[in-house]
Amino acid sequence: MSDDGRTATLLAQFAYIDPNGKHWDVPTGTRVDGASIPWPLWSIIGSPWTGRYREASVVHDYFCDTKTAPWKLVHRNFYTAMLANQVDGIQARIMYAAVYRFGPRWDFEYTPDCPNCAAVPHRVDQFLPEFNQAEYDALEARARGGASVEALEAEADALFRKDIQKQEIGTPVFIR
């Protein structure tokens, strides 16, 4: 653990081999901050440094920082790494849904969806959505209800699209 009490530095190389046999290597000296769990959820999910998801968060943090793999693959890797480390399936789906919805996305195209705009795709280098407790609660309920990861992704993508639209054109204001 570092002097700040929040980050740690790897003293040895760390790796995860995904279900397709791909090695996800994290080098010695990498600084990580544990699972990026919003503090209001610590009493529900756990703190950043507790639980079997900790090892998956090391790999996830590194690849979110370096952006050397596609964001979708990095987030899905977080899910499979949790399952490989025997995180309960429901908890893994909840944490994955939260990371997929509120975690960083990078190097993607976004096409504005406004009726009076030229729908020209924009390349987005990086976007980090703000955490929304109501959206998290809805995703958690769906994950607890047995929703597949694909269904959770689709729901999170729809919410993300609304979120990024607000950034592009702002929240609609009606003038009388």
Q: What is the pLDDT of residue 124?
A: 82
Q: Report how far apart, in Å, the C-alpha atoms of 74 and of each of 28, 40, 51, 63, 103 are.
A: 19, 24, 20, 7, 10
Domain boundaries, the chain: 8-169
pLDDT at 157: 94
The tokens describing 78, both together, are: 């977080």
Q: Kindly report whether the global pTM for this prediction surpasses the value 0.85.
A: no
Block means of pLDDT (10 residues each) for the chain, 176 residues, are 66 92 94 62 54 83 93 95 94 91 88 64 82 92 96 95 71 48
pLDDT at residue 176, rounded to an integer: 47
Can you give the pLDDT at residue 173? 47
CB 58 within 8 A of CB 49: no
Q: Write out the two tokens for 18.
A: 């995904």
pLDDT at position 2, please?
54
pLDDT at residue number 3: 57
Q: Return the pLDDT at 92.
A: 93
